[in-house]
Amino acid sequence: MPTDPNTPSPEAPGAAATGEGHPQMTSEDSPDVGTIDELAQQAVEMDRLREENKGLQDQLLRKAAEFQNYRRRTEQQRSADEARASDRILVPFLEVFDDLRRSLDAARRQGKQDGENTSPAFDALAEGIDLVFKKYGATLEKMGVERIQAAGQPFSEDLHEAMMQQPAPDPETPEGTVLAEIQPGYRIGDRILRHSRVIVAQ
């Protein structure tokens, strides 16, 4: 069938290659230069804020660690102060304990001298002193107080105070051995309440 030359022919399949019939991007659709700059500035600002936040977090962690160390040191110092205050209170009571021991020793010596000739009153007094001495010692023990070993031990400046030196009665006794105790010493754990006053072998 002959075609009319004046009749427009249908669009050929390859017409898309020429761009005909498709919308073209205009200057209005292209990204605005100002918008790009603004986004770039926002990205830079976000990076800055991230770094600042990281710095603040590090600073907060350091301050928290410093506070923990300060609190630990404060608690340790408080415990040490309380221990020293307790020690100062205990020392005078050790003097009373020594007096009781000396009184008990004197009563025992007198009892040995008198033998069966001691009076009932003396026996009751000696028994009473012994009872008080034992209770006193038990109370100190509950508080953690213990007597420092001295006689027969090597002299230690941390534990003993040398009052004098003298030759040992036994030639085989090593030099620096504690021969006798003049006044007992006491301790609580590693804390020395009072050094033992001793006689040391030359």
pLDDT tens digit sequence for 74-122 = 888 888 888 888 888 889 999 999 999 998 888 888 888 877 777 888 8
Which among 180, 173, 172 has a CA at the least distance from the CA of 196?
180
Q: What would the pLDDT profile of 37-69 be if each residue is shown by its tens digit?
A: 788 888 888 988 898 898 899 899 999 999 999
In sign, the C-alpha dihedral spanning 15, 20, 23, 27 is positive
> Does position 135 have pLDDT exceeding 70, yes or no?
yes
Q: What is the pLDDT of residue 171?
A: 85
Q: Please report which helix (H) or strand (E) contains residue 111, including its range.
A: helix 33-114
Among the listed residues 134, 133, 141, 140, the one whose alpha carbon sits nearest the alpha carbon of residue 100: 133
Average of per-residue pLDDT across 160-177: 92
Tally of CB atoms within 10 A around 77 = 10
pLDDT (tens digit per residue) in 6-30: 555 544 444 444 444 445 555 555 5
Task: Say how far apart CA 71 and CA 180 lie, in whole Å.
Answer: 46
